[in-house]
Amino acid sequence: MAFIDELNITVRGGDGGKGAVSFRREKFIAKGGPDGGDGGKGGDIYIEAKGGLSTLLHLKGRNIFEAQKGRDGRPKKMTGANGSDLTIYVPGGTIIRRKKGGRVLFELMESGDKFLLAKGGKGGRGNARFATPTMRAPKFAEEGGKGQPKEYYLELRLIADVGLVGLPNAGKSTLLSVLTRATPKIAQYPFTTISPNLGVVWVDGIEHFIIADLPGLIEDAHKGAGLGERFLKHITRSGLICLVIDISPPEGGVAPVRAIEILLEELDNYSQGLSNNAKIIIATKMDLPGACENLKILKEDRIREELEIVAVSGLTKEGVANLKNKMYNYIKEINERSKDTGI
């Protein structure tokens, strides 16, 4: 699934309509009084979280949004129609900032959450509004107010039940492809994944959960090294984190035990306690030479006793069904705990 997780947008509320300059024109009334109506208000612009969306892809190429202008006033003191409001729909988890790196203005968490981005201008007053005992026939009216122009930076924090975290080329994309019907790019070089990939994992053809394959992390990812900092933000929204380890690293690669240490350190450095969300170590590439020996070493040198080790092979699909069930059971446990605590 294609993914866009950040976007700059420019918005402008609709301008208010002009007030009308008009005088009554009726039979037997030679000089009717002013009857110019007010202009309509310009439309506002809102942003709203909507179910069924998971990326900002639908907004690609649409960086400028303008609400409808209010209609001008009309004779007989008729007010012009208000401009229609404009709503920009985004997925839940979208953060709104005034500019990149700026403070968070609002976060759209759940479907229906809404935020006003720009107000429309007020409608101008018609000449009927300016009539006084000393000025009975004003020949002027107000221009409509200008709509607010604003610039925002949208940042999407991915909402997924499971987040796959690993070093580059650990086998996350291959794992995603066998767990789901997703078709991520797979190749034998680092940083094949440069944006998050999403997939739906079905359990017994009835229940399902969302899984995300995130770009590979390297040491100091929390400081911006590699692509890490940009994508670590998504992990904060995942209930279950799975550490994906190449159990048979190529010559010169990172040993499995060290790989786990790096990942846990990066998670905690990015957000204190985030590593506690990690529950499963997925030892991938069990079909390669040396995998069984390395798996034995990994089990003997446990970094955290609460981390469960599941060995799999994306090629032969060994252990995949077992992994799927363990993920599902953890998610059920997390969801039930959330209901009990109200978190």
Residue 15 has pLDDT above 90, yes or no: yes
Q: How far apart are CA 285 and CA 274, in angstroms?
A: 26
Residue 189 has pLDDT above 70, yes or no: no
The whole-number pLDDT of residue 87 equals: 98
Residue 7 has pLDDT above 60, yes or no: yes
| Range with the largest mean pLDDT of 20-34, 64-78, 295-309 | 64-78
Q: How far apart are CA 201 and CA 44, in angstroms?
A: 40
Q: How far apart are CA 119 and CA 45, in angstroms?
A: 7
Sole residue written with tokens 């506690």: 276
Domain locations in the chain as residue ranges: 1-157, 162-341
Q: How far apart are CA 332 and CA 248, in angstroms?
A: 31
Q: How far apart are CA 90 and CA 115, in angstroms?
A: 11
Q: Supply φ then ψ for residue 95, to 5 degrees.
A: -100, 140
Q: Which letter does DSSP use for residue 191 in this model? A: T
Q: How far apart are CA 111 and CA 89, in angstroms?
A: 10
Sole residue written with tokens 């040198």: 301
341 burial (CB, 10 Å; 0-12 / 13-18 / 19+) is exposed
Q: What percent of the chain has pLDDT over 90?
A: 43
Helix (H, G, I), strand (E, B) or coil at 220: coil
- Say which residues have a Cβ less than 8 Å from residue 137's Cβ, sequence separation at least 6: 23, 31, 33, 34, 131
Helix (H, G, I), strand (E, B) or coil at 59: helix
Taking residue 179's Cβ as centre, other Cβ atoms within 10 Å add up to: 24
Greater pLDDT, 338 or 66: 66
CB 210 within 8 A of CB 234: no
Torsion of CA 309, 216, 264, 182, to 10 degrees: -50
CATH topology of domain 162-341: Rossmann fold (3.40.50)
Query: In CATH, which of 3.30.70.260, 2.70.210.12, 3.30.470.20, 2.102.10.10 is domain 1-157?
Result: 2.70.210.12
Indicate the average pLDDT of the chain: 83
Q: Write out pLDDT tens, residues 59-93.
A: 888 889 999 999 999 999 999 999 999 999 998 88
pLDDT mean over 110-114: 90
195: left (phi over 0), alpha (psi -120 to 50) or beta: beta
CB 177 within 8 A of CB 164: no
Amino acid at 213: D
Residue 292 has pLDDT above 80, yes or no: yes
Of 275, 285, 274, give the one whose Cα is nearest residue 316.
285
Sole residue written with tokens 């940042």: 155
